[in-house]
Each structure stands twice: as C-alpha cells, then as structure tokens.
Structure 1
Amino acid sequence: MRFLLRPSWIAFVAMVVGFAVACYTLLAPWQFGREAQRRAQQQAIDATASTLPVSFATLVPALSVRAEDEWSRVALSGTFLPEAEALVRLRFVDGKPASQVLTPLRLDDGRIIAVDRGSVPLNNGQAIPGFAAAPSGPVTLTGRLRLNETDTSGRAPATEGGHLQIYAMSSRQLAAATGTPGMVEGYVQLAADQPGILTPTPINPDTNVAPFTNGSYALQWLTFGAIAIVALGYFIRLEMLQRRGKQKTKASFRDALAGRDVDAEA
C-alpha cells in the first residue's frame, strides 16, 4: 500500500474523494433544494389560482414585497411612467431570444412599482422591434406580486435602439438605471388582457418540467459520488494485484537465474 504515498496517487485519491464529497454535500443538496423551491412555488401559484385579486396596498403596505406574498394576485391603479421604462435582456420565450418590458407605475398613493408588461421577440435574435407603448392616463391593473431577481450578468445598463436595457427583473436595478427614487422592492407581473400587456410572461416557466426533475438530478449526483468511491477502490485493488504479479514474476526470474526449479522443489 506504500504506492498510495506517491504524489500521483495522493492527487488522484484527493480528486476522487473531493468529487464524492462535493456530490453529497453540495451538488445533491443543491438539486434537492431546487426541487423543494419548485414545489413551493407551484403550491403558491395553485393556492392563488382561484382567489380574487387583493388590493396592492393591503398586501404591500410598505416599500417591499414580502417573500410569503410572492405570486399573490393583486389589483392596483395608477399611471405608467414610460420615461423610466427599460427592457430586460437575456430572456427566452418559447426557446427564442426576447426582452421583457419593465415599466414603472405611479400608484394612486404616490408609490412607484415596476410592472412586467410582458415580452417582445428579438429580430434575428438581436435587434429590438417596435412594440406598443404603455397607455397614458390612469389605469387599473391586475397581476401577481414577484420578488426582484438578482443580476448575475455583471453587465452595466446600456441604451440601444433608443431603449434602456438592464439585465434582471429588478425594480432596484430599474430605479438605479433610470434615477427613479422610492421604487417598491419587487414588481408586478401583469396578467393577460390587461392595459399595456404585450406577450404575457408565463406564470410559471417550469410548468413543462417533469415532476421531481431536480430530485432525479440529485439522485444522479449521489450515484456518481458512490461510483467514484467504488472506482477508487477498484483501481487501488487493481494496482495491488499488478504489483503482486510483478513481484512473483521477479522472484521466478531470480530463481531461474539461480538454477532453482521451484516446481520441482515443491
């Protein structure tokens, strides 16, 4: 077993053990967590599917949408602020590149909430086509409360084709990019057939994902971790057998040189 102390074997064992540990402590729990998140999200959506919209002021009395209220149906009224509108890039609708339109709405109580008016497809995957402007004047809307996304693109807001572009569905990023203070944390995902709606954003983008998909991925990572450990044991045993075979061969060769016939002596 002294061969395990060689640098190459130490590195190999460390790599395999590290991979197995990652499977059991990081990768599998991550997928189990995503599965639990998907189930909780679907339960929240199903729970509000048949309920009437609640006043926005009732569910959001302060300046932040609460996590427990996400996906709740709300009714709100106010006036769109098209001058502070932005397109959210790096989106896909039905597998095709698109941008979502995020337009602030000044509520009757003076607060400002970002509204997801839906998406517009990109021409040739890049160019931004024309789309309907938000209606002017007072409007009454219904939609679902959503929490802000976290921007993982690392890109700064930019203007292209006359449209401000950001990279997350986030009222915080919209407020910073447009210089609009006092915007509520979170946004409203506009329901279909509402004033200003474009192509409605799917309520749950994961509805086409088979049940327990992430859970099956987690089980796969657990299996990969177990296979790695078994394979490590197999390679160690194979190395030991090869070394024993070489030792026997060397001993037989030495006996032959010495003129000893091991079989005859036996």
Structure 2
Amino acid sequence: MRVLRAFLRPGWVVLALVVVAFAVACFWVLAPWQLGKNGRTEHQNDLIKSAVSKAAVPIDTVYPGSGPVPTDTEWREVSVTGSYLPEAQAVVRLRSVDDSPAFEVLTPFRTSDGRIFVVNRGYVRPQQGTALPPVTAAPAGTTTIDARIRQPEGTSPGKGPRTESGVLQVYTIDPAVLGRTVGLTTMPAYLQLSSGQPGSLAEIPIPQLDSGPYLSYGLQWIAFGVMAPLGLLYFVRSEIRHRRAANAARAETAERIRTGAAPPDALESAALAESALSERAARARQRRKELTSASSTGMGQTRVRGTIGAGPDQAVAGEDRVRGKLADRYGD
C-alpha cells in the first residue's frame, strides 16, 4: 500500500497523464492522419494508372450530367466537340510546373449539347520575373478536343478572382467561381487538355505515382504510442524494485539489531551514511560544475609576466609554493 501511495504523488500522476494523452494522440489522431493521407494517395495513383491505360471516350459515357464529378472518373481521358469562348479566358497565377513558376491558361469550352466546361489549356512561363507573356489564342469555330476530367480545386477565403493588367487572374481552378465571375454557368468538373490538341499550350505533366512517406510516418506514430506506456511501466518497475530493496535492507538491519548482530544505532547510522553519501555526491557535482565554469572563464587568459632576459613569473610562483610547504612542515 505504501508503494501505491508513492505513485499517487503529483509528479507520478502528471507523468502518467502525459503518457496516456500522448498514446491516445498517437493511436487516434496522428497515426490515422498519416495513414489516411497514404490511403488517399494510393487511391489517386490507382485512378491515374487506370486512366492512363485507357483510350479517350466520349464525355457522355463517363460524365453525362451536370452534377458532382464521380471520384472514379477523375483523370479519365474524354473527347468533346464544341467551341472555345476566348472572351471569358482567365489565367491561374502562382503555379509551379517542373519546379519552375508558371501561369496556367483557362478557357471555357461550350460543347455541342450546350454545356460549358472550363478547359485548362496548359501553361506558359512568366517573363521578366512575374510578367504574363503573350498567350496564343484558342482556335475559333467548332473543334474536337481530348482532355482529362479533373475535380475542382475550390477557392480559399480572400483568394477570389481579380483583374490585373486587363487579364482575369485566379489562384485556383474553381469552375463555379470562375463561371459566376464571367457570367457563365459552368460544369463542376474542369478538363485538362491533352498534348497536341487544338488550343493546347505547354502540357501539364501527370503527377508522379509516388505514395510518399505517409505509411512510414503512420507506423512510426503507432510505435511511439506503444513505446510511451512501456517506458512508463519500466520506470514504475524500477522504482518499485528500488523501494523493495531499500525495505529489505532496513528489515535485515532491524533483524540483526534484534538478534544482537548489529549495534542498536545501526539503522540510524545507515540512514546517516546514506544521507552523507547523498550530500557528498551533491557537493562533488557542485564542485565539478564550479571547476568547469572556472576553466571555461579562464581559458585563454593565462597571464605570464617577465622581463627581457628573465623567465616568466610562473616559475617563481612555483618556487614560492615549494618554500611555503617546507616552512609549514619544518618551520621558518
């Protein structure tokens, strides 16, 4: 019971609460977060692999309506017939392609059945720092294009469309927001134009199929969640073992006193010896700390005084110390 009461002290209670909270965070927050990111990345990679291996099909076969884009149709290549609407064109700023800045060009496309899709025609590199270069106009008239279906990116607060230097610019590809800005009713999905199609610019590459480090991160958080309670149990067991050894030693000393094998003050002497050892160890630590501080402060400051033709005063100081010791032993 006394051992149990020892672990009810504030220090042990706080340590236990911290360990439990950390383990809960590892198992129910941090590990699921990383494993979830790994699952989403692998699902995205599977969609891209499947889409790349298939030929283009008419858009009505995979996206016939105007509702949300089914997740399993993203990256599918489709063919669409219609015409560009260059008067509603916009550019996406602050993009990066192959680790270099770029502008992506968005031009609405009206299909033959009347639907309007925002088409990402590709990218152009900025000129003179961040200036938008001239953009090749989209072809006029009816044309057929092949493009990949993409999910909208959404718009962050305060990052809506704006006009700069006479060009409509956006931060993300959000067909609904862009459509409201230019006065068009656009479909939720947008199309990423394939290479070599009418109106295409520099092609935006398909993302690399890399799952990233999320799986290993998730497993690491699980390992941390297991190790934290085990570490606490180790310290608890060490404390119990230490206390039991101390109690056994005291009991043995008491038994020796009872049988006359040890003096009556043996317990008190043992306690005093233990206290003295603790104090001596503390003084030794303090002394080492002072010596370390003194050596750090005086490093590089050794003073050597002398005159031309004479040795340094350090030798004289050494002789004075020897004379002092001889005087203390034998008298002046």
TM-score range, shorter-chain basis? 0.7 to 0.9
Runs of 5+ unmatched residues, structure 2: 248-264, 273-332
Partner of 2:223: 223
- Shift in CA distance, 19/128, structure 1 to aligned 2, threshold 3 Å: farther
Distance 1:10 1:98 in 2: 56
Give the counterpart of 1:87 among 62, 87, 91. Answer: 91
Tell me what 2:137 maps to: 133
Amino acid across the alignment from 1:222: I
Q: CA RMSD in A?
A: 3.3
Q: How many residues align?
A: 247
- d(CA) in 2 for partners of 1:11, 1:262: 33
Q: Does 1:192 align with 2:195?
A: yes
| Partner of residue 49, structure 2 | 46
Q: CA deviation at 1:17?
A: 3.5
What residue is the counterpart of 1:164 in the other structure? 168
Partner of 1:214: 214
Matches within 5 A, 1:18-37: 18-37=21-40
Residue 234 and residue 137 in structure 1: after superposition, are their counterparts in 2 closer, same or farther (change >3 A)?
Answer: farther
For the pair 1:261 / 2:269, whether they are aligned, the reply is: yes
- Letter of the 2:213 partner, please give it: T
Please say which structure displays the higher CA radius of gyration: 2
Q: CA deviation at 1:122?
A: 3.3
- Residues 19, 195 of structure 1: alpha-carbon distance in 2 compared, 3 angstrom cutoff: farther
Q: Please give the alpha-carbon distance, in whole angstroms, between the structure 2 residues aligned to 1:13 and 1:125.
A: 56
SS of corresponding position for 1:185: coil
Pick closer, same or farther for the CA change 1:228–1:84 going to 2, 3 Å.
farther
CA-to-aligned-CA distance 1:156-203 (integer Å, 9 cap, x gap): 22222322222222211221332222x111111111111111221222
| Pair 1:206–1:223, CA change in 2 (3 A) | farther
- Contact 2:66 / 2:188 at 8 angstroms: preserved in 1? yes
**How far apart, in 2, do the equivalents of 1:44 and 1:4 lie?**
55
Deviates more, 1:150-159 or 1:189-198: 150-159
- Higher strand share goes to which structure? 1
The TM-score normalised by the length of structure 1 is 0.77
Q: Secondary structure at the match of 1:159?
A: strand
Q: Which residue of 1 aligns with 2:115?
A: 111
The equivalent position to 1:180 in structure 2, one of 181, 184, 204, is: 184
Report if the CA contact (8 A) 1:128-1:161 is conserved: no
Corresponding residue SS for 1:115: strand
* Higher RCO, 1 vs 2 (CA within 8 Å, ≥6 residues apart): 1
Distance 1:206 1:16 in 2: 39
Structure with bigger helix share is: 2
Select the residue among 138, 151, 156 that pairs with 1:147.
Answer: 151
- Post-superposition offset of 1:9: 7.0
- Secondary structure at the aligned position of 1:151 is classed as coil
